[in-house]
Amino acid sequence: MSKMKLVFRPAEDKGFVEQLTRRNMAAYYARLGIDWDCSLFDKNWNEFESYELAVNGCAVGVLRLSHDDRAYYIRDLQLEQAWQRQGLGSQAIGYAAEVARRSGIRLLRLRVFSMNPATALYERLGFRICKTEGGTHSMERELY
């Protein structure tokens, strides 16, 4: 199978991003008793760098980043269910690492629900668990 061409472009469709995130996170939120916070999403929409993942011109996911002087943070990585387990998540992590490197930052961090199978992907890509608290792993990876 030939490798599909994944394009990262600025995310402009807030509705798509919010609905994809809510749909993908619904089971985790329900299990942990977390309610979706629309006002927090709105605040973060304006603060995070949001990228749409597109294949053949169609949006299939989203990558949301923020940073401080020490690290870049993967705030959100969501893929439409039909596009999961096809290497797009790994490519998105690689893209986040490049964004960080270009800005001179050599540390990538993220938080993931400890029950989320994506934890295995992050570990495979060199992230290590630094702390587990409240059902969430804090993970980081140094960039070289």
- Average pLDDT taken over every residue of the chain: 94
Helices (H), the chain: 14-32, 38-47, 88-102, 118-124
- Rounded CA-CA distance 62/49 in Å is 10
Q: Residue 9: is its pLDDT beyond 90?
A: yes
pLDDT at 5 over 70: yes
pLDDT (0 to 100) of residue 1: 44
Q: Judging by DSSP bridges, how do beta strands 6-10 and 136-142 pair with one another?
A: unpaired
What confidence score (pLDDT) does residue 3 get? Answer: 59
Q: Which CATH number goes with the domain that contains 90?
A: 3.40.630.30
123 part of a folded domain: yes
Is residue 36 included in any domain, yes or no?
Answer: yes
SS3 143: coil
Query: How many CA atoms are closer than 13 Å to the CA of 111, on its beta-carbon side?
Result: 8
**pTM, full prediction:** 0.92
Residue 41: inside a domain, yes or no?
Answer: yes
Number of domains in the chain: 1
* pLDDT single digits (tens) 40-79: 999 999 999 999 999 999 999 999 999 999 999 999 999 9
**Residue 1 falls inside a structural domain:** no
d(CA 51, CA 32): 27
User: Percent of the chain having pLDDT more than 70?
Assistant: 98
